[in-house]
Amino acid sequence: MHSRRDFLRNTSLAMGGVLIAPSIDSKFLRSFGNNMPASKLKLSFKPYTLDLKHVFTIATSSRTTTPVMLTEVEFNGVTGYGEASMPPYLGESQESAAAFLSKVNLEQFDNPFELEKILAYVDSVAPKNPAAKASVDLALHDLAGKLIGQPWYKIWGFEKEKTPNTTFTIGIDKPEVVRQKVKEAEEYKILKIKLGRDTDREMIEAIRSVTDKPLTGDANQGWKDKQQAIDMIHWLHERGVVMIEQPMPKEDPDSNGWITERSPVPIIADEACQRLEDVVKAKGYYSGINIKLMKSTGMREAHKMLILARALNMKVMLGCMTETSCAISAAAQLSPMVDFADLDGALLISNDIFDGAKVIDGKVTLYDKPGNGVSKIK
């Protein structure tokens, strides 16, 4: 009896713990517990420009800033935060996002938990616009989690101890700059190297002159000949590269599949895998997929992609763009379930305005804050 009484007391304490945020829960209970008319969902958005700490060069482009759109969805005085990050080469912009978001009418909805219905509507407003759609999805998830009082990794049933080490990305650069960047990245246990130009061997040799950490490689479709690509992958494997992203153009699944069959390391589809329907198409051509919220239209579809890829016995990587901690913290909610994480986006910028999941000692670290675990710091 004694232990049962303790159990009941502890249970009620625990339940009290769930209800700690009175401003949220009293509003939550008012709207849903007393049959009072619920409020409407309200969407707002504003552009913001991220300043990059270093000029960032990949196989196809260079830049020093990233345009983003910051969103908020408000319901009964509770606010969820979202973000669209739009590196120019992906085709979206602050103008296209503003045009899309202006058409999204969330005021027709009064139940923020009907995410399936609301997000199917958002997806139907216009084709494409994956980052703009993600900005609504992220804000809605943050809002719904805050209303429930729980973080999404818990709602999904994941263990926060299982978060992976994140890679830290080294862009294409001169050997002396590469060596310096590797030294600055001392905290990280695994580095991601941008490849796909004619300087690949030079990049790897520069890195290997200063560290023996495991590496991943991202060719960003930059290799044009499958035999040369597989020769390069064997050379990279011998030098401690443990995974390769998108070796050849996404329009050439057969060459990518030919490489995957012969590769000593997993080959991950990135540019070739945008949304849920692409996961099944990637099966047989790639070892796994790189899920990014800005491609998948947000957390809801990213979660479905993760579960489907697992069911298909595929590897899963979780990637990002240069983003604030708003979008990184949202992605981090999925990270306990992935093989590779590349969630360094907020570390590459100098003007973050959110606090959220962090990288500590190279590892993605989740907190118990509800929703996507994000709050504004400016």
List residues binding Mg ion (CB under 5 A). Answer: 218, 245, 270
| Closer residue to Mg ion in complex, CB, 92/245 | 245
Pairing of strands 363-365, 358-360: antiparallel
Nearest approach, Cβ of residue 9 and Mg ion (Å): 51
The strand pairing partners of 341, in sequence order, are 166, 318
Nearest approach, Cβ of residue 150 and Mg ion (Å): 31
Nearest approach, Cβ of residue 192 and Mg ion (Å): 8
CA distance 193 to 200: 9
Closest residue to bound Mg ion by CB: 270
With the C-alpha atoms ordered 124, 125, 131, 136, is the resulting torsion angle positive or negative?
Answer: negative
CB proximity list for 186: less than 8 A, separation 6 or greater: none
| Closer residue to Mg ion in complex, CB, 245/301 | 245
| Closer residue to Mg ion in complex, CB, 218/352 | 218
With the C-alpha atoms ordered 194, 199, 204, 210, is the resulting torsion angle positive or negative?
Answer: negative
| Closer residue to Mg ion in complex, CB, 110/339 | 339
| Closer residue to Mg ion in complex, CB, 137/218 | 218
| Closer residue to Mg ion in complex, CB, 60/227 | 60
Nearest approach, Cβ of residue 271 and Mg ion (Å): 7
By residue count, the chain amounts to 378
- Helices 130-148 & 94-103 angle (0-180, nearest 10): 60
Q: Contact at 8 Å (CB) between 66 and 321?
A: yes
Nearest approach, Cβ of residue 12 and Mg ion (Å): 49
User: In the block, which residue shows the tokens 């009072």?
Assistant: 36
What backbone torsions phi and psi does residue 305 show, to the nearest 5 degrees?
A: -65, -40
Nearest approach, Cβ of residue 68 and Mg ion (Å): 19
What backbone torsions phi and psi does residue 267 show, to the nearest 5 degrees?
A: -110, 125
